[in-house]
Structures are given as C-alpha cells and as structure tokens.
Amino acid sequence: MNRMNLFKPRHKVANLVIKDHVIRYVELKPTDPFTIQKHGERDLPKGLIHDGKIMDRETVTMILEECVDEWKLKNRRVRFLVPDPVVVIRRLSLPADLQEDEIRGYLFMELGTTIHLPFEHPVFDYALLEKTSEKLTILLFAAPEPIVRDYAELLEEVNVRPIVADVSPLCVYRLFHAADQVRRDDHLLIVQIDESSVNVSAFFNDAPIFMRQLLFEVPNETIRQDEWFRPFEDVYKEIERVMNFYRFSLQQGNAQITKIFLTGDHPKLPHLHEAMQERFDVPVERLTEPFASAIEPRYHLAWGLGLKEGTAYAHRR
C-alpha cells in the first residue's frame, strides 16, 4: 500500500470519524460545503477500539460493513481521522539552508535519528511556518504508520476508498474559522470534550502549537446529579495547567490564551459550557449561528473534516 499524503485535499468525498465509542458520517453538498446533505452514527460497544487502537477487528469490520450499507457508501472515496491518542504535533527548527522542496526528504532521513518521536515507523506531513535566510520552522504532524494503515485497510475491506487522513484539531479549527469566529491575533485553545476523553490544542496565526489528550473518569449513570460533574473539576484544573504552560513556557510570559472554543460529543456539553464560562477568565465559545443549528455538536468533527477544502484556511494549509 502506498504511503498516503495525510493532508492532500480531494473533491466529493464522504467524511468518517471513528472513535473508541462511535462511528459517525457526514456528507456535504459538493457545491456548498456549509450545507449538510446526509449524516449518521453508530455506537460501538466498549472495548472494540481502545485509545484509537482496533482491538476486535472482526467485530469492527462487521459493524462498519453495516454502516457502509446503511449509508450507501460503497465504492465512495472517504476522508478519515487519525485517532487523537496516537497523533504527535511538534514545532521544529530545521537547517535554514534547506530548500522547500528538500524538507520532506530531510524529514525522512532524520525522523528516528536526530528528530525523535515516541514511536517508530511514522507517517507524517508538515506545514511550513517560517522561512527566511536565517530561520526555517515547520509544524510536524506524525502518527504510527501501522495504526494509520490499519484504519486505511479496514476501510478498504468494507469497500470504501480512503484517500486522505486528517487530525481532529485541524478539523475543529477549520469549522470555527469558517464560522468567522477566529481573529488573526487570537491565541486560541480548542477543547473537545467527548464521553471519556478531552483533547486540548492551542492555535496561533492559523497554526496549531501543540495538542494534549486528557483522560477522565466517566461518571456512573446512577450517581447523584450534584456529583455528576465532579470529575470535570480535574479536567478544568488540567486545562488551567495547559493555559499556564502556553503562557509561561511557550510564550515566555509575553502572550496568553485569549479565547477558548468548546465542542465535542459529550451529552452534557451545554452544562459544561456554562461551568467553563464561570471558571475561566477568557471567553468560552461554542459554534455560533447559522452553523450551530445546522447539525448537532457531536457531528462537528466530521463536518470540519469535510471542510478540508473550500475555506481560505484549508487552501493555506
């Protein structure tokens, strides 16, 4: 199988998001990517996929085949997400005398030797952040090739054609950018709260700075309402630590997070939004109208995946 370009845009494709607990699908109108034509979801039993790794391939394949049949996706081209837990985003300084057409070859040579990642055999892409006579800075996106290939081959087995993979922070950013909620000088923190995990990523000047995955204890359905949100106190503390890390470690005290964007598939997201608005000193925003009423928040990630082309940001990246 050929190594895929993680971020190369294509036309008229379906958008699949496969998480530990759910499979979701969104199809956008080809002539208007802000109009959602079709969507669907299928819950996954616990344990079939864990931390993004497929544990029970036979059962996942069977369920996905049913989804492809139900959603009429056979032989369709699809975009898909690389699971958050396996993605690494890293800002790198490279030799300033490298030419732009030499960067990819340089990364192939240096990954695993002078450039270290927490896994072997990466599949990667990059965005050029700055190139002057004295400085060359890129943003590296990397994931373990066996896991990305596992998802691609799974999709091929169920008779769809995986053509491009993306990462969730870029998808969410793309959607908020399309909704005109991004200002050029914003230091943004994107918080995705799902049923059993929280992903936080920082953006500045149209580029992600870092990404971090937070886990939390899923409350038992039988506990009292006043105890239901207790695990989120630890989540809020972790978000505060991330904001302090951004301000004091990454920006040396010269800049700080100015806005938080909140999305995710957690069923109590509106309540969590209210709590975060009270907790943090910066604005906490969800998707605004008319986008907000177009589809439920749990589909935002697949929608942002579908906006991979058709916005100014997508073309820049």
pLDDT at 5: 46
pLDDT at 215: 72
What pLDDT band is residue 7 in, cutting at 50, 70 and 90?
Answer: very low
Do the beta carbons of residue 22 and residue 41 sit within 8 Å?
yes
Q: How far apart are CA 108 and CA 124, in angstroms?
A: 9
**Cα angle 143, 82, 176; round to 5:** 120
**Residue 83: Cβ-neighbour burial (10 angstroms; 0-12, 13-18, 19+):** buried
CATH 3.30.420.40 assigned to domain 182-286? The reply is: yes
pLDDT at 222: 54
Sequence-ordered list of residues with C-beta below 8 angstroms from that of 264, at least 6 positions apart, any chain:
191, 192, 193, 194, 198, 297, 298
Of the candidates 280, 315, 31, 28, the residue with the CA atom closest to the CA atom of residue 177? 315
8-state DSSP, 71 = T
Q: In what order do the strands lie in the sheet with 22-29?
A: 32-43, 22-29, 14-18, 77-81, 161-166
Helix (H) and strand (E) counts in the chain: 9, 15
Task: Enumerate the CATH 3.30.420.40 domain ranges in the chain, comma separated.
Answer: 182-286
Pick the CATH number of 91-144 from 1.20.120, 1.25.40, 3.40.50, 3.30.1490: 3.30.1490
Summarize pLDDT for 85-139 with one digit per residue, the tens: 999 998 899 999 998 889 999 999 998 888 888 888 899 988 888 888 889 999 8
Three-state SS for 98? coil
Of the candidates 27, 311, 270, the residue with the CA atom closest to the CA atom of residue 179? 311
8-state DSSP, 25 = E
Task: Enumerate the CATH 3.30.1490 domain ranges in the chain, comma separated.
Answer: 91-144
**Residue 155: Cβ-neighbour burial (10 angstroms; 0-12, 13-18, 19+):** buried
Helix (H) or strand (E) holding 137: strand 136-144
Summarize pLDDT for 25-56 with one digit per residue, the tens: 999 987 787 889 999 999 999 999 999 999 99
pLDDT at 309: 64
Q: How far apart are CA 53 and CA 28, in angstroms?
A: 28
User: Half-sphere exposure of 148 toward its Cβ, with a 13 Å CA cutoff?
Assistant: 31
Q: Output the CA–CA distances (angstroms, integers) from residue 130 to 91, 102, 239, in the order listed.
A: 11, 15, 28
What pLDDT band is residue 230 in, cutting at 50, 70 and 90?
Answer: confident
**Cα angle 238, 240, 242; round to 5:** 70
Sign of CA dihedral 232, 234, 236, 238: negative
For 22, the token pair is 């759910």
User: Which pTM does this prediction carry?
Assistant: 0.87
Summarize pLDDT for 11-23 with one digit per residue, the tens: 468 999 999 999 9
Q: Output the CA–CA distances (angstroms, integers) from residue 150 to 68, 154, 310, in the order listed.
A: 18, 6, 29
Summarize pLDDT for 151-205 with one digit per residue, the tens: 999 999 999 999 989 999 999 999 999 999 999 899 999 999 998 789 999 999 8
What pLDDT band is residue 312 in, cutting at 50, 70 and 90?
Answer: very low
Summarize pLDDT for 65-77 with one digit per residue, the tens: 999 999 999 999 9
Residue 311 pLDDT more than 50? no
pLDDT at 223: 57
Summarize pLDDT for 240-293 with one digit per residue, the tens: 999 999 999 989 999 999 999 999 999 899 999 999 999 999 999 999 998 999
Regarding predicted confidence, which is higher, 208 or 229? 208
pLDDT at 210: 87
Summarize pLDDT for 143-152 with one digit per residue, the tens: 999 999 999 9
